[in-house]
Each structure stands twice: as structure tokens, then as C-alpha cells.
Amino acid sequence: MQKTEHVQYNRAGQRVVSPDYLLFEAPREKQFMTGSEVVKEAVKRASVDASVSYPITPQSEAAHLIGELWVEGYVGVYFRGESEFGVMSEIAGCAMAGARSITTTSGPGTLRAMENFPMWAGSRLPIQLVLMARGVNSPLSIQPDNLEMSFLLDTGCMIWHAENAQELFDMILAGFVVAEQPDVHVPLITAIDGFFISHTREAVMLPPDDIALPPYNPYKSPMVPLDMEMAPGRFLRDPYVMKSNYISYAAHTSWQFEVRAAIERSRPYAKHYLRGLIEEFGDPEADIVFVASGTAAAQAKEATLMLLHEEGIKARVVRLKTIRPFPTQELIEALRGAKYVFVPEFNVIGWLEREVRRALYGNLDVPVIGSPRVAGGMTMPPEFIVKEILQFLGKEVKHVV
């Protein structure tokens, strides 16, 4: 007797495959693409139902390219919001209606939309926001800088930080899978350093575009869609919740802790789909360690190779893939034996240095040096990192910049 196989197709006619097959097993072909183009390729394979856009540099091109996917039939609904606040409110409506939803923003757009992010989290909406970080200050900057990520740390959203276009592609796909787990089901901010990733072209390995993630099943949502019929959430009319009394405080507290607990529940899923919450690079015995995320980690890796080959100094990099949840245990284990921890960053305040210090406090006694740090659009060439290390170690700085 012939065996019958049930094959499922999504609205675009793509064959639905398991997330593990799409991410780890499907054959891949090399392409040469910008980060913005890679967003399009990921969304194309993600069975996305809805996307809302608004132009702001440097994410405008990615938003535009998702619009092309709508024309081609890969995305169910696509429209332009009135502002970033409008976009983030409207995408919440899409998610409340049970749609797999994605949007993009940058810098001042993120801040304009800010009120919505805790609302997404409290409403348990697994929206994915691709954040192409850019400077936030006056005079207005459109330069690469990830200060805005610090403002998002405690919104109740998960935050992942991609190092390059390849990782951005994989994170977008894995992100839907992790964020939509019933016990997680909170928003995910997939961040990259704008321009460095969004506007530069690099080699990426992509699976075929005739396969895609299984569609989102809103019936597995931990908060029933019916409950959302009165925007921004029917639960807001509960007198106990809205009034100022002890019962309402207790309900709000539990609600807020539950959202944070949901982020913690994402750890095992993220560990599987990202192949670990951290990546270690370089000589495992080295006692000089860079702890970094995003583009700063890529630069630190190059600096590690320069230090070894040109100066004979052993160093290593611990790259954090997830910022929320913060990989505290993994970091502590990775830093055992470290003599100095450097935290290179692309922002003025050193938010990652703060996070690292908080994670290590009382757990590991090692000096944390918040350096090198650049902001306002400055780049961080590996030579610059090498120079700082040599100066710190009291060694002669020869030919570096």
C-alpha cells in the first residue's frame, strides 16, 4: 500500500516545514545581501500575516521591502501607519486579532512608539519588532548608535541582538517560534546596529524560498483573543483592576511579574533555536575577555585575532545573543578564570557594562572595564580596541591607529 504524506501549504503556496528543518536542516545557498534585504528574505519564509510600516532611517528600506512581499502575496496585510505610535498600536491590533505580526523601527521612532511596548508585553502579544538602532539625541543624529536599546530593556519584551545579517535572518525566523510558545508569548525585539548591518552587504546562507514556518496558531495564546475585543484589552474594565485599592495593586503586581517570568521561560527555547544564549570565540584559556553583543562583538573578534597575531596577547570574546533574557549563568561560567573583562559598546552610557556588572555582582570577582566605548556614529575599528588593551596593559602602542 502506498504511504500518504500530508503536506501543508501556507497562503503564499509555500510548503510548511518544521522550524528545525527550516533553521538547521534545509540546504542553503550563498547570497550577497544587505541587512535590510535579509529582513525581506526572512519575512518571506515566516508565514507572516501582518506588517505595518512607517519610514525612518535606517529601517525604511526593510519596511519597504516587506511591502513588496505583500504585493507578491507572502504577507497577508500591509499598510503604513500615521506615525511610529500609530504603527505600534496598529500592529498590536493585528496581533490581538490573531495575526503573526512584524514591524520595524529605529531611534526616535522607537521613542515615539514607546508607550506601546509595555502594552504589547502586558497583552501577551508575540509581535516581532526588528530594531535597526540609530542615535537618539539633539542635534538630530541618523548615525549608528544603540543607546535606544537601553530604554527597551525593561519594557517586558524579549531582546535579542544580532551580530550580522546572517544572524538577523536566523533570529527573525527563530524569534517567531520562541515568542509564540504558549508559556512565553511576549513580544520580541530583534535588534541590530543600524547602518553597520542594515546598509552593508555581506555573504548570507539562505534556505529555499518555497518553504516556510508553520502558520501562527492564535488558539494557543495564553490570553484568549476574545478578551481583546475592547482595545487595548477588555481586562482594563475590571473595576478591581482599574481602581486604587489593595486588590488592584496585587493584580497589577502579579501581572507584571508574570510578564517577566514569561521572558525567563523563553530560555530553553532560545537556547535551542539560537544554539546557545552566548557564543565564545578565541582561546578559552585567555584571561583577557571581551563581553559584547551585536556589531561590537564582531569588532572585538577581529581585535582578538590582531592581539594574538601582532602582539602575541591571548584574548577571547563572550558574545551575548540575548539581552532579555540576560544569560547570567552562561556569562558567569564563561568568565571563570578571566583576569580583565572589557565591554566594548556603541553608546554613550554603557548599558551593557551595567548589565554585566549586575550579573557578576556577588557571583564573580573580576574587574569590569567599560571600554572601548564610542557613540554618536563613531566606528570602532579593531585597531582602536587593540590600542586600548595595549595601553591598559602598559605595553607599547606601535602602529595601531
Nearer to other proteins, 68 or 264 (CB): 264
At its nearest, how many Å lie between other proteins and the CB of residue 217? 11
Q: Does 247 bind other proteins (CB under 8 A)?
A: yes
Q: 156 with 118: CB under 8 angstroms? A: yes
Q: 146 with 294: CB under 8 angstroms? A: yes
Strand pairing class (128-133; 188-193): parallel
Which residues, numbered 102-121, are part of the site for other proteins (CB under 8 A)? Answer: none
Residues 306 and 331: their CA atoms lie apart, in Å, by 24
Q: Does 223 bind other proteins (CB under 8 A)?
A: yes
Q: Does 19 bind other proteins (CB under 8 A)?
A: no
Nearer to other proteins, 34 or 123 (CB): 123
Residues 361 and 368: their CA atoms lie apart, in Å, by 10
Query: In this chain, which of 251, 305, 348, 369 binds other proteins, going by CB under 8 A?
Result: 251
Strand pairing class (340-342; 288-292): parallel
Query: In this chain, which of 18, 111, 227, 357 binds other proteins, going by CB under 8 A?
Result: 227
Query: In this chain, which of 83, 200, 254, 363 binds other proteins, going by CB under 8 A?
Result: 254
At its nearest, how many Å lie between other proteins and the CB of residue 234? 7
Cis before 325? omega within 30: yes
With CB under 8 A as the contact rule, which of the stretches 209-217, 262-270, 343-351, 391-399 interacts with other proteins?
Answer: 262-270
Region of residue 376 (phi > 0: left; psi between -120 and 50: alpha; otherwise: beta): left
Residues 57 and 64: their CA atoms lie apart, in Å, by 12
Query: In this chain, which of 3, 30, 237, 309 binds other proteins, going by CB under 8 A?
Result: 237
Q: Which residues does residue 160 pair with via DSSP β-bridges, in sequence order? A: 190, 322
Taking only Cα atoms into account, the Rg of the chain, rounded to an integer number of angstroms, comes to 22
Residue 235 CB partners (closer than 8 Å, separation 6+): 227, 241
Q: Does 257 bind other proteins (CB under 8 A)?
A: yes
Q: Which residues does residue 284 pair with via DSSP β-bridges, in sequence order? A: none
At its nearest, how many Å lie between other proteins and the CB of residue 41? 31
**C-beta atoms surrounding 232 within 10 Å:** 16
Q: Does 361 bind other proteins (CB under 8 A)?
A: no
Query: In this chain, which of 205, 231, 250, 349 binds other proteins, going by CB under 8 A?
Result: 250
Query: In this chain, which of 19, 93, 118, 222 binds other proteins, going by CB under 8 A?
Result: 222
Contact pattern for other proteins over residues 151 through 190, marking x by CB under 8 A:
------------------------------xxx-x-----
Q: Does 224 bind other proteins (CB under 8 A)?
A: yes
Q: What's the one-letter identity of residue 276?
A: G
Q: Does 203 bind other proteins (CB under 8 A)?
A: no
Cis before 126? omega within 30: no
SS3 24: helix
Nearer to other proteins, 117 or 196 (CB): 117
> How big is the site for other proteins, counted in residues (CB under 8 A)?
34
Q: 273 with 355: CB under 8 angstroms? A: no
Nearer to other proteins, 265 or 387 (CB): 265
Query: In this chain, which of 64, 199, 265, 314 binds other proteins, going by CB under 8 A?
Result: 265
Residues 73 and 250: their CA atoms lie apart, in Å, by 46
Applying CB under 8 A, which residues contact other proteins? 124, 181-183, 185, 220-224, 226-227, 234-235, 237-241, 247-248, 250-251, 253-255, 257-258, 260-262, 264-265, 268
